[in-house]
Amino acid sequence: MDAARVGVITFPGSLDDRDAARAVRLAGAEPVALWHADHDLQGVDAVVLPGGFSYGDYLRAGAIARFAPLMTELVAAAEAGLPVLGICNGFQVLCETHLLPGALLPNAGLHFVCRDQRLRVENADTAWTSEYREGQELVIPVKNRDGRYTADRETLIELADSGRIVARYLDLNPNGSLDDIAGICNEAGNVVGLMPHPEHAAESLTGPSTDGLGFFTSIVKRLVNA
């Protein structure tokens, strides 16, 4: 059968789009470049919203990307079950579109932070984490300026109680994220937002590990089995 087709949306200001595409390829799927200004998801089987500073993020991270033409199609498709992974800026965009609850504020230290971060997978049942096991520890780069996850108390409790916290930071919380949250998912588990960059932990030559590849192999396996 044909390889799964995973779209990667490029907004003006997207930076890690090529890297996400490379990780998709390494995981065995076919990356499909999607352009923010189109109204066409090209029939992809899943979508990655990559890292970067969409539209410069001068206003608020992800605030403008949310209004990109393609987002209309994406939101509808995600609500209908299309697997979507938002990485870093992509996570911010997903929050701005309300596909995920909460928001991402500037890092507690007010600096951009780039480091090899230890994480623990808290939910291995989402569309993007099934190749991991719950409690598994990973080392994946985190690099962001606005990565401090925030939500109101009820939301945090609900996220924790319903198992929607996908990953938490270990050792050191790099950005002041509440409850050490590194990633969350929606109720259905098809939409995942993640602050660390799994696409940069896909090759041992260029990453601190290959621990991030699992996010991509998870979706590939799911699509192939589907």
Partner 1 sequence: MSEQRPNASGRTDGPQDTSDEPSLEWLGELKSDADDPELQPVDPSVTQAFEAMLEEEEPAVPPASPPVSGQVPPATGQAPPANGGPVSPELSSEFARALAEEGAIGPSSPTADPTRTTPDLNGSGPFQQPDGSGPVQRSSGPFGMGAQPPLGSGTGPQPAVGTGPQPSVGSGTGPQPAVNSGTAPQPVVGFGTGPQPAVDFGTGPQPPVGSNTGPQPALGSGPHPAATAEGQGTGPQSTIDAEHPLGGPVTGPLPTATPTGPQPTVPPTESQPTATPTGPQPTVTPTGPQPIVTPQGPSTGPLPPLGLRNLPESGPQPAIGGQGSGPIPVVDGPGTGPQPVVGGPGTGPLPGVEGTGPQPALSRGRRIGMGTGPQPSIGHGTDTVAIAAASPERSQPYVELGMNDEEYQRVREILGRRPTSAELAIYSVMWSEHCSYKSSKVHLRQFGEKAPKTDALLVGMGENAGVVDIGQGWAVTFKVESHNHPSYVEPYQGAATGVGGIVRDIMSMGARPIAVMDSLRFGPADAPDTQRVLPGVVAGVGGYGNSLGLPNIGGETVFDECYAQNPLVNALCVGVMKHDEIKRAVAPGPGNRVILFGARTGPDGIGGASVLASATFDDESEQKRPSVQVGDPFMEKLLIECCLELFREDLVVGIQDLGAAGVSCATTELAAAGTGGMHVELDAVPLRDETLRPEEILMSESQERMMAVVEPGKVDRFMEICGRWEIPATVIGSVTDTGRLVMTWRGETIVDIPPGTAADEGPVYQRPYEPPLDLGALQADTPGRLTRPSNGDELRRTVLWLAGSPNLASKTWVTSQYDRYVLGNTVLAMPDNAGVVRIDDESGLGIALSLDGNGRYARLDPYSGAQLALSEAYRNVAATGARPLAVTNCLNFGSPEDPGVMWQFARAVEGLADACQYLGVPVTGGNVSFYNQTGTTPINPTPVIGVLGVHDDVRRRVTMSLTSDGAAIALLGETREEFGGSEWAHVVYGHLGGLPPLVDLPAEVALAGVMVNAIREGLVTAVHDLSDGGLSQTLVEACLRGGLGARITLPGDPFVSLFSESVARAMVAVRPGAEARLAALCEAAGVPVTQIGVAGGDALSVSGRGAEGEPQELFSIPLAELREAHERMLPTYAD
Task: Catalog residues that contact partner 1 under the rule CB under 8 A.
Answer: 12-13, 15-16, 18-19, 22, 51-53, 55-58, 109, 111-115, 141, 143, 145, 197, 199-200, 202-203, 205-207
Tell me whether residue 21 or residue 184 sits nearer to partner 1 (CB atom): 21
Both tokens of 191, joined, read 């939409």
Report the nearest approach of partner 1 to the CB of residue 8 (Å): 13
Task: Give the active site residue among 36, 88, 96, 131.
Answer: 88
Task: Give the active site residue among 36, 96, 199, 200.
Answer: 199
Cα–Cα distance, 10 to 137 (Å, whole number): 30
Known catalytic residue: 88?
Answer: yes
Task: Give the active site residue among 96, 131, 185, 197.
Answer: 197
Tell me whether residue 52 or residue 101 sits nearer to partner 1 (CB atom): 52
Report the nearest approach of partner 1 to the CB of residue 146 (Å): 12
Known catalytic residue: 36?
Answer: no
Report the nearest approach of partner 1 to the CB of residue 141 (Å): 5
Tell me whether residue 38 or residue 125 sits nearer to partner 1 (CB atom): 38
Known catalytic residue: 200?
Answer: no
Report the nearest approach of partner 1 to the CB of residue 118 (Å): 14
Let me know: does 16 contact 88? Beta carbons within 8 Å: yes
Tell me whether residue 67 or residue 112 sits nearer to partner 1 (CB atom): 112
The label of the residue with tokens 């049942």 reads 125
Question: Which amino acids are annotated catalytic?
Answer: 88, 197, 199
